[in-house]
Amino acid sequence: PTPFKRPDLSNLPWFVSASSAMQLRHSSTLMQPAEGSTPWKAKVTAICFAPDNSRMAVVTTDRIVSIYDENGERVDKFSTKPNDKGPKNYLVRSMSFCPDPAQPKLAVAQSDNIVFVYKWTGAPDSIWEGKKSICNKFAGTSPVTSLVWPVDHPFEVVYGLAEGKVKIGQLRSNKPQTLYNAESYVVALASSPNGTGVVSAHLDGSIFRYNFPDSNMPGPAYTKICTHTSVPYALSWGRSICAAGNDQVVTFYDRDGGRERTFDYSGEPAKGMPECKEFTVASFNNTGDSVAIGNFDCFYTFSYNAKADSWDENEVKVVENMYSITAMSWKNNGSSLAVGTLCGLLDLYDACIRRYTYKKVFELTYVSPSQVLIRKKSEKHSNMIKSKFGQEITKVNIYADPETKVDRYVVAHTDESLLLSDLETGKFSEIQWHGNGESEKYFFDTLNACLVSYAGELSVIEYGSDEVLASVRTEHTSSHLLSVRINERPPRQGEDNPDTPRVDDEEGNNKKIAYLLDTQTVCVKNMHTQASTTINHDIKIDFLELNSRGNLLLFRDKRRVLHLFDVDSQTRTALLNYCSYVQWVPGSDVVVAQNRNNMCVWYNIHAPDQVMVREIKGDIDGIERANGKTEVLVDETVSVSSYVLVEELIDFGTAIDDRDYVKAMQILEGMEFTPQSEAMWQQLQTMCIDNWNLKMAERCSAALGDVSRARYLRKVAKLADEAKEQGVDVRDHWQVRSKMLELKKQLEMAEDVLIAHNKVDEAITMYEDLLLFNEALEVAERRNHPDAENKRRKFYQYLIDSKQQESAALMKESEGEYVQAINLYLEAGMPGKAARVIGDNNITQPSNLLESVAIALEDADMNEKAGDFYERMGQRQRALDSFIKGHAFRKAVELARKHFPNQVVSLEESWGDHLVSINQLDMAINHFMEAHAQSKAIDAALKARQWSKALTLADQLDVDTARPYYAELAEHYAQAKQYKEAEKCYVQCDDHNKAVEMWTSAGEWENAHRLAKSYLPESEITALYMENASKMEKSQKFKEAEKLYLAVDKPDHAIAMYKRHRKFDTMIKLVSKYRKELLGESHKYLAQQLEMEGNLRDAEEHYASAGEWLAAVNMYRTNDQWEEAIRVAKFHGGVSASKRVAYAYALHLGGSAGAKLLSKLSLLEPAIDYAMESGAFTHAFELARDSLPKKVAEVHLKFALYLEDEERFQEAEQEFVQASKPREAIEMYIHQQSWSDALRVAEQYDPSAVTDVYAAQGKAASEREDWARAEEMFVAASKPDLALQMYEQSGQWQDAVRVAQRHLPHKLNEVQLRLQSAQAGMGTGGSKADYLSKGRNFEKNRKFGNAIDAYLMAKKDVIRNVDDLEEIWDQAVRVSRTNMKDRYMQVVREVCSRLVSVRKFESAAELMREADMLDEAVSIAISGQCWEKARELAADNRMLSGRVESAFQGHMVKAENTSGLMEMGHTGAALDVLAQRGDWDRLWDTAAKERVGPEVLQKYAGIRVQQLVDDGGVKYDEAVATLIEHGPPTSAAYYDMYSALVAGVLGRDQDQEKKSDQAKVVADLREVLYTVALKLRSNSTDGKLDREFENLLMATHYTHMMYLTRKHGLKELSSRCAITLLRYAGIVPTDKAFYVAGTACKEVGDLNLAFMLLNRFVDLIEAIEEGDMSGIDNSDFAEATNVPFDTPLPTYFYIPEHDAREEVRDWVLSICMDNNIEQKLPRQGESENTIYAGLYTSSKPTCIVTGYPIPSRDKLEVNNSIASKKDWNALVSKTEQCPWTNETASPMW
C-alpha cells in the first residue's frame, strides 16, 4: 500500500457552492489519522450528533465510542459490548442518538447480529454526565448493517440486516418487529427529515420505502420505489432521496422513486481535480437543502436551487491524502459537518451560506436559506431559528427588552411567514404572514408574547406557538394603551361562591388582552374563549392595564381620573382624581398610584375606600419587588428615595385572590390588630363563609371580637360535623344550609329551604326568634297553619301592648279597618300617615275625625301636609295659611295664582325673605325679582356673592340708586383681580381716581395709562411711566419695565436696558421690531463684543444673523479653530466655501500634515481642484505627488491651460506633453496660427494630427480669402472636399468645377447640378426685369403655367421693393385670370397671402374683391386695421358692416383707448377696459361723470368685490366698503361671492380682528346683506328668501348685535347673541363660535354654561391639532338641538397664540373639579326663560335682538320683525335705532 501522508488542512480555503452559496471551511481536527503502514485499521465506522448538538459520538474499528462535547473536546468514551460475551471481532456499523433531547440514549448497530441501546442515568447536573447502561437490546439472525432513529419516533429504532430484512425495535416492549424483507443485503438506511418514513438500499441496487402508520401517506406501507444503477452505498433523504455508488453516478429521486436529476462523474476528471472513485457515504443537513457525499480524497456537495426547483452541483472539496471517507454526519442545526475517513481522521467543517455581525454583538450564521444560527459573540451557546415551511429567511432583526434594554427578541421574515424567538427562553414561533416586512411595528412589553401591528390590526403571538393567539383592530398601539396577560398567575384553589361558582380559566389558558376600540372605549378580550367585554367611557382614555390575573382593569382618562373595572362583575369604580401615576405591584392585586404629592396604596383593591395615603416629595418613578421586599421609587429631583410597602398586606391580597385561605390566615395571625388588618379579617371571614369553611370563619369571627357570630358558627359547624358523620354533604343538609342562609341574612332563602323540607314550624320559629312576627304570621297564613288566626290576634295584641301603634295601624289598614287604623296612627302621633289613609281611601266621614287629623297635623308642625289636607277638604284659606306657616311657599304661590292672585307678589317677597333667613340667597334673588323688590334682590345677590347677577341688576336701576352698589361691586372686583369689571364699576360710580390707583397697584400700566389719559397731562403720564420703569429695572423686573417703556413709546430705553444687563436675545427682538434699520449693526456689534469675551459660539450666531458669516470664519481661523471655520463655511457658503477654508487650513499646516488633513476630511481632491482654480499649481503638484498620484496628469493639464491663457505657449506645450495631451498643444498653436510649432508638435508627438494642421491652415487662409493658399493646404491635408466646399460657398463656381475635375471627378456632376440650381434661383441676375423677362418669354411660347411659376418665383428676400414685387405678382394673377382660369383662385389666394406678408393689405383686399371673395377681403382689411377700406368693402352689406364696427370696437378695447370708446358712445366697453386694467378709481369717476345706472355700478362693484374676496385678508374691509359705497348686486349669481365674503369676515382669528375695525365691518356687511335680502324678497313670488342666504344674513346680523350690545354695556344680551351664533357654526368657525359664547357666559357669571362651551372649545382645538374630529364626544350637547355636529373642522385656530389657548384649557381644568358647577345642561323644559333656552329649538318666534325664543307675554311686532319687548327696549333705549331696519326708534313700553 501507498505510505500514508497526513492531509494538509492549514490553508484549506472556504468552499462556496454554485447555487445557494453554501460555504464549508475546515474548523478543527478532532482525531488524527493513524500512522504506519496499515492506517485503515483505525477506520471511522460511524458518527452521529445528539439532537441538542451538545454531544457527538464517534466509533472506529476499535469498537470504542468517543463522546465529544459541542466545543470539540472529548469528554467521555466507552467500549461497546459484544453479543453474548463472544469474541470482540465485530464492527460497529452505525449509531444514532434518540431524537428526544430529554432521553439521553444512543443506539449502536453491531455486526455480531445485535443492536444495543445505551442510556445515561443518575447525573444531577447534566443528563450526559451520569452512568451508562444498556436499556434495550435487539438481537437478530444476521449481522446488522445499518441503523436509523427516525424523528418523532423516540421509542422506535429501525435497522437493517445482512439477510435483507428491515426491522423496527420497540423500546417500550423491548421486542423487534420485521417491517419488510427485500431479500437482498441492506447496505444503507436513511430516514425522512420529518420522520414519517425510511428508505433502505440493497446490494441488488433496489431502494425500498417504508411509511409509518401515523404518517398519513397514501399507498402501501412499504414498496420498492426504484433500482439504482449500482449498489447505493451512499444513501440519504432530505428534500429528495440521494443515492450513489461505485459507478461514479449521483442520482436524486423523489419520494416515489421518480428521477429528478443525475450527475455522472465516470468520465475524465477536469484539470486539477482528482479522479472520481467509489461513493461511500452520504448525509443531508437538517433542512434537507444540502447534501455531502464522500469519495476518495474528496467529497462532493450539492445544493437545492429553490428558484429552479432543481439540484445544483457545487465545487468538489479536495483534501489531499485524506483517502476514502467512511462516515459523515451533520450537526442537527446544520452548522457543522463531521467527516471520518478510512485512516481514522475525524475533521469538523463549519458550514454556512453566509455569516455576518449584527449590532457588533451577535453573529448570524445562515446554515441554509431557511435556517439561521444566532450567537452572542461573548457566548458559545447559539440559538437557532428555522422556517418550518422551508421558506428562505430574507431578513433578521434583534430587538431589546424594553425594561432591561438587553437584546433579546428575534424577528425574522420569509416570503410567506413571520418568525419570532425569545433568546432567553429559547421559545420559537412561526406563523403565516403576508406583510411587507417594513410596515410592521413590534411590541415586546409582554413577557410571553410579541404584539405585531400591521395595517390597523394588532396580532398577539405567544412564543412557542405557531398560531396567532388573537387579532384585534385598533389604531392605539402605545404601550400605555395595551395590556396583555398570559398565564401570569395560577388558577384559583377554590370557588368564589358555591351558589354562583366562578369558572376560572384552565391552567395555561388565562390569556387576556385589553385595548382601545376608540379613544373612549376599552375592550377586554379573552384570547382563549374569544369572549370580550366592552367598557364605554365619556372622556378620552390615556392609560390602561390589566392585573396579572386579567380580571381587573385599571384605566385613566384625560382628566386624570383613575377608574377600576371588575371584568367578572362588570362593575366600575372611580378610585382617584388627579392621578399622575398608577401601577399594579408585580405579581399581586395591590395598586400604587400618585395624587399630586400623595402616594396612594390599595392593599385590598376590592375595598376601594380603604386606601393608604402617604405624602411624598417627588414623582413616583417605578416599583421594584425583589428578595421579599417591595419598594416604590420616588424621584425627588436631587435623589431617588424608596418607600417600602407592607409585604404582609401584599401577600394577603395575593393569597385571597388565589383562594389560599390557610396562607391568608397565617399572614393575619402574625400582624397587629389594626383597622387595616380588621378589614382583612373581615374579608377572609366573608370568603370562608361563602366557601363553607366554617371553622376558619369561626376563627375570623373570634379575631374580630364577634363572639356571638363565633358561637353561632361553632353550633353550625357541629351540625355540619354531624351531617358528615351521616354521609350527607353539608351544603345539601337542610338545617346547616338554612342556618348559613340565616347568618347571611338571606331569610327568604332560608325559609325556602325549610319549607322545601316541610319544616314550617322551624321557619315560623326562625322569624319569631328574630322578632319578625309579621313574616312569621305570613308564613303561617301562607302554609295554612292551624294556629294562624290565633297568632294574628296574639301579634296584634303584642303590638298594642308594646306600644307599636304604627305597626298595629298598618295591620288594621291591611285588613280594611281604616277608621281604627286612623285612630291608631293618631294615637301613635303620626297624623301624616292618618292623612294618607284618608286621602288614599277617599274617606269623608266622620267630619270630626277629619278635623282631628287636621288639628293633629298642625300640632305636629306638619303645616305643609296640613295645607295639602285642607286643600283637599276645600278649605283654601286655611290651606294657604298652613302653607305660609310651614314655609311651603311654592305650594302657597301655586294656590294663590289660582285663587288669591292679588297675594302672589307679596308671597314671592315673603318667599324671598324666608330664603334669605335660611341663607339660600341664590334662590331668593329670583323671587325678589318676581316681587319687583330690586333692592332686596341686589342685596341678596351681593350676600350670595353672585356678583355678575348683582351687576346685571344694578344696570337696571337708575344711576343714583345704583351708585352705592357699583362702589361695593368695584371693591369686590378689585380684590378678586377682575380689574376690567372693577374699572367699569368705578366709572359707573364716578370714582375714577380709585380705578387708576387699582391699575397702578396691579402693575397694569397700560390700562392705568389708558384711563389716566383722560385726567392727567401727557407729560406727567410719561414721567410717571419712566419713573416706574426705572424702579422695575432696578428690581430686575425687566419685562414689566419693557412694557412701561413701550407704553410711552420709548423703545430705545428698553433696548438700552437689555443691553446694560446683557439680555442680548431680548434686545435683538426689540431692535428687530422697533429699529429694523439697526438690526444688522446690532448683531455685528454683539458678535464683536462676544468675540472679545471669548464666547465664540454666540458670536458666530450673531455674525450669521448679520449676514457676516465670513467674519465668523475668520474669527475661528484667528483663534486656530479651523474645524469650526470649515463647519461655518460649509453651512453658510456651501461645499465650495468649505473647500476654500480647508485648503487654507492645509496651507496653514503645510507639507504632509496639510495633505493628511485634506485626506482625513475627504477634501484632498477638491483641495487640489481649488489650488488649480486659484493658480497655486506648485501646491497642487505637491499635494498630488504626495497623496494622489493619479491626479498629477490633470494638474499638468490644468497648468498647461493656465499657461496658455497667460500666453506662455512654450511652457504650456511642455505641460500638455507631460499631461499626455499633445493634441491640446497642437490645437493651442493652431488657435494662435503658429503653424510651424503646430506642425512640429504633431510630427513629434501625434503624427495623425499633421493633416488637421494643414486643414486648419487652409481654413484660416479661406477666411482671409487667400483662396489659392487655402486650396493648397486643403489638398496637402488630403481634404480637397473642403476646397470644393469653400469655392461653392463663396460662389466661385468655376474654381469649384476645376477642383472637382482635378481632385474629385466623382463629384463633378453634383457640382454642375448645384451650379445650375444656383443660377435658376437667382434668375438672370435676380432683378425685376429678369423675372418679367423670363415670364414673358414663357407667355410667348404659350407656357402659361411656367409663366405663372416664373412670376411667383419672385420673393421678398431677393427683391426688396414691395411695389416691384406687387407688379410681378400681378402678372401671375393676370395670366391665370385670362389663360388658366382653373388656377385663378389658387393664384389669387397665394398672391394675397404674399401681399399680406409684405403688409399690402389694401391691395390684397382689392384683389379678393375682384375675385368675388368679399368676406375674405373684409377679413384682410380688418386684420390690417384698414378701417376705411373695410367700411368701403362692407358698405352694401349690413352683416359685414356690423362685423367691421364690432372689430373696430374690439380694437379700441384692446388698445385700451377709453377716450375713443367714450367718443363713440360705448361707455360700457370703456368701463370694461378700466375694470380689466384694474383702474378702479378712474372707473368710479367715469361712471359718476357719465351718470351710469345703479345696476351698472352694482355689476362693477360685484366684480371688484370678487377680486378683493379672492385676495382675502384685510381686503375684506375694502370689499364691504365698496358694496356700501356703490351698492350690492342682487343677482343669485353672486351668492357664492357673498358666502365667501361672510366666511372671510366672520371667520377671522383674533389677530386679524385686532388689525381691523371688526365691529364696523360686520355692521356694514350686515347692512349690505339686509339691502340684498329686501331686493330678493321683493322679486320673489312667495316673498321668501333663499335658506342659505338667510343664514348668511342672520349669522352676520347676530354677530352685529353681539358687538352692538357689548358696546353699550348690555353684556347679558351680548352673551345671548353669542349663544345664538352657535346654530350658525360652519358660517362662523366652530371653535370661534364656542369660544366667543363661552367667554361671554363667563363674563356674565354663568360659569356652568361657560364651562360646557369652553370645554367643547378645548376639544375642538385638540381635534384641529390632530386633524380629526371623530374623537370628539358630543354627548354633552346631545339634547341641544340648536348646536350642529356636522360642521366642518376649521383648518386654523381662532386663537393663534398657543399660550392663550392653554389659559383656556387651564381654566376648564380648574372649573371641572369645582363641585358647585353642575357640568351639564338642563333639559329643554327646564331651560325656558333662561340663558340655556338659546341652545334648543322652539316653536316660539325668535327675538330679532338675541335670537332667543319669545314668551307670548313679551312678544313685540315692530318694523316687520319680532322681538322680545324687554330686550328690544333695552337696546333701543341705548341706540335709539331699530336693530333690524336701523330706523330711528324709541322704547315701546
pLDDT in tens, 1223-1240: 888 888 888 888 888 888
- pLDDT band for position 1116 (50/70/90)? confident
Calpha distance 986→1011 (Å, rounded): 11
Calpha distance 611→594 (Å, rounded): 12
Q: Which residue has the higher pLDDT, 1207 or 1316?
A: 1207
Find the helix or strand (DSSP H, E) in which 708 lies.
helix 707-725
What pLDDT does 6 receive? Answer: 42
Give the three-class secondary structure for 1239.
helix
Residues in the chain: 1789
Find the helix or strand (DSSP H, E) in which 1427 lies.
helix 1427-1433
Give the three-class secondary structure for 630.
strand
Q: Specify which of 46-60, 732-746, 1337-1351, 1446-1460 reaches the highest per-range mean pLDDT.
A: 46-60
Is 1216 within 8 Å of 1197 (Cβ atoms)?
A: yes
Calpha distance 1777→1782 (Å, rounded): 5
Calpha distance 499→690 (Å, rounded): 8
- pLDDT tens, residue by residue, 317-354: 888 888 899 999 999 888 899 999 999 999 999 888 88
Beta 156-161 vs 282-284: how paired, if at all? unpaired
Q: Which residue has the higher pLDDT, 52 or 820?
A: 52
Lowest mean pLDDT among 63-67, 368-372, 920-924: 920-924
What pLDDT does 415 receive? Answer: 85
What pLDDT does 814 receive? Answer: 66
pLDDT of 1438 above 90: no
Amino acid of residue 982? A
- pLDDT band for position 1384 (50/70/90)? confident
Lowest mean pLDDT among 136-150, 648-662, 1116-1130, 1308-1322: 1308-1322
- pLDDT band for position 149 (50/70/90)? very high
pLDDT of 1740 above 60: yes
pLDDT of 405 above 80: yes
CB atoms within 10 A of CB 1708: 21
What pLDDT does 14 receive? Answer: 38
What pLDDT does 92 receive? Answer: 94
What pLDDT does 842 receive? Answer: 64
- pLDDT band for position 395 (50/70/90)? confident
CA distances from 451 to 464, 966, 1587 (A): 14, 66, 54
Lowest mean pLDDT among 446-450, 1068-1072, 1775-1779: 1068-1072
Amino acid of residue 1405? A
- pLDDT band for position 797 (50/70/90)? low
CA torsion angle 1010 1013 1019 1020 (round to 10): -90
- pLDDT tens, residue by residue, 1134-1163: 777 777 777 677 666 665 565 555 655 666
Q: Specify which of 860-874, 1030-1044, 1659-1673 reaches the highest per-range mean pLDDT.
A: 1659-1673
CA distances from 1185 to 338, 531, 1141, 1214, 1220 (A): 55, 79, 22, 18, 17
Calpha distance 1177→1215 (Å, rounded): 12
Show the cell assigned to 306. Answer: 429553490
Tell me the mean pLDDT in the region 1012-1022: 65
- pLDDT band for position 501 (50/70/90)? very low
What pLDDT does 993 receive? Answer: 62
pLDDT of 725 above 90: no
Calpha distance 1015→1024 (Å, rounded): 14
- pLDDT band for position 236 (50/70/90)? very high
What pLDDT does 15 receive? Answer: 37
Q: Which residue has the higher pLDDT, 1389 or 1436?
A: 1389
Tell me the mean pLDDT in the region 765-776: 68
- pLDDT band for position 1337 (50/70/90)? confident
- pLDDT band for position 1077 (50/70/90)? confident
Lowest mean pLDDT among 202-216, 541-555, 870-884, 1105-1119: 870-884
The answer for residues whose C-beta is within 8 angstroms of residue 426's C-beta and 6 or more apart is 383
What pLDDT does 16 receive? Answer: 36
pLDDT of 896 above 80: no
Is 713 within 8 Å of 694 (Cβ atoms)?
A: yes
Give the three-class secondary structure for 343.
coil
Classify each residue of 243-270 as buried b or exposed e, where b means 16 or more C-beta atoms within 10 Å of its C-beta.
bbbebbbbbbbebebeebeebebeeeee
Residue 523 CB-half CA count within 13 A: 16
583: which strand partners?
A: 592
Q: Which residue has the higher pLDDT, 562 or 730?
A: 562
What pLDDT does 2 receive? Answer: 40
pLDDT of 1315 above 80: no
The mean of the pLDDT values for the chain is 81
Classify each residue of 998-1022 as buried b or exposed e, where b means 16 or more C-beta atoms within 10 Å of its C-beta.
bbbeeebbebbbebbeeebeeeebb
- pLDDT tens, residue by residue, 120-135: 886 656 777 778 899 9
CA distances from 1410 to 730, 1397, 1417 (A): 133, 20, 9
What DSSP state is assigned to residue 705? T
Show the cell assigned to 73. Answer: 473536546
- pLDDT tens, residue by residue, 293-314: 999 989 999 998 888 888 998 8
What pLDDT does 1706 receive? Answer: 84
Q: Which residue has the higher pLDDT, 1667 or 173?
A: 173
Q: Which residue has the higher pLDDT, 1679 or 39?
A: 1679
- pLDDT band for position 1130 (50/70/90)? confident
Is 1426 within 8 Å of 1401 (Cβ atoms)?
A: yes
pLDDT of 493 above 60: no
The answer for residues whose C-beta is within 8 angstroms of residue 152's C-beta and 6 or more apart is 99, 194, 195, 196
Q: What are the residue ranges of helices labelled H in 1122-1191? A: 1122-1149, 1151-1160, 1164-1173, 1177-1187
- pLDDT tens, residue by residue, 912-941: 777 777 777 777 777 777 777 777 777 777
Is 484 within 8 Å of 506 (Cβ atoms)?
A: no
Q: Specify which of 57-61, 213-217, 1072-1076 reaches the highest per-range mean pLDDT.
A: 57-61
What pLDDT does 1 receive? Answer: 33
Q: Which residue has the higher pLDDT, 103 or 846?
A: 103
pLDDT of 495 above 60: no
Is 1126 within 8 Å of 1141 (Cβ atoms)?
A: yes
391: which strand partners?
A: none
Using CB atoms within 10 Å of the CB of residue 1786, give its burial: 0 to 12 exposed, 13 to 18 middle, 19+ buried: exposed
Calpha distance 868→1009 (Å, rounded): 65
Tell me the mean pLDDT in the region 103-114: 93
- pLDDT band for position 502 (50/70/90)? very low
Q: Specify which of 363-372, 1232-1241, 1391-1400, 1598-1607 reaches the highest per-range mean pLDDT.
A: 1598-1607
Calpha distance 351→24 (Å, rounded): 5
What pLDDT does 1312 receive? Answer: 58
Beta strand extents in 982-1041 (DSSP E only): none
- pLDDT band for position 56 (50/70/90)? very high
What pLDDT does 3 receive? Answer: 39
- pLDDT band for position 811 (50/70/90)? low
